[in-house]
Amino acid sequence: MTETSRTLAAAEFDTRRVLLAGPVNYDMYVQFRNQLAEAPPQGLVVIELSTLGGDPEVARMMGEDIRFHTEVGPQRRFVFLGKAAIYSAGATFMSFFATPNRYLTRGTRLMIHERKMNKTLEVNGPLTTCIASVTALLHEIEHSITIQNEGFENLIRGSRVTMAEVLERAPSNWYLEAQEAKGLGLIAGVI
Mean pLDDT of the 118-125 span: 92
Are residues 63 and 93 in contact, defined by beta-carbon separation less than 8 angstroms? yes
Q: Domain limits of the chain?
A: 10-190
**Confidence tier at 5 by pLDDT (50, 70, 90):** confident
Segment 32-49 mean pLDDT: 96
Instruction: Give the orientation angle of helix 127-156 with respect to helix 56-72, to 10 degrees.
Output: 50
pLDDT digits (tens, 9 = 90+) for 144-156: 999 999 999 999 9
Average pLDDT over residues 94-115: 97
For 123-153, b/e burial (b = at least 16 CB within 10 A) is eeeeeeeeeeeeeeeeeeeeebeeebbebbe
What digits encode the pLDDT tens for the residues 162-182? 999 999 999 999 999 999 999
User: How does the average pLDDT of the chain come out, rounded?
Assistant: 95
State the architecture of 10-190 in CATH terms: Alpha-Beta Complex (3.90)
In degrees and rounded to multiples of 5, residue 68 shows phi and psi of -60, -50
Q: Find the mean pLDDT for residues 92-106.
A: 97
pLDDT at position 1 over 60: no
Cβ contacts of 28 within 8 Å, gap of 6 or more:
20, 22, 51, 54, 58, 62
Measure the N-to-C terminal CA separation of the chain; round to a whole number of Å.
20
User: In this model, does residue 2 exceed pLDDT 60?
Assistant: no
Rounded Cα distance, 146 and 143, in Å: 5
Amino acid (one-letter) located at 87? Y
Closest CA to 89 of 179, 17, 25: 25
What amino acid is encoded at 106 in this protein? R
Band (pLDDT 50/70/90 cuts) for residue 51 is: very high
Query: Looking at residue 148, what is its pLDDT?
Result: 96
pLDDT of residue 28: 98
Give tens-digit pLDDT for 7-30.
999 999 999 899 999 999 999 999
Q: How many CB atoms lie within 10 A of CB 163?
A: 11
Confidence class for position 3, pLDDT limits 50, 70, 90: low
Residue type, 14: D
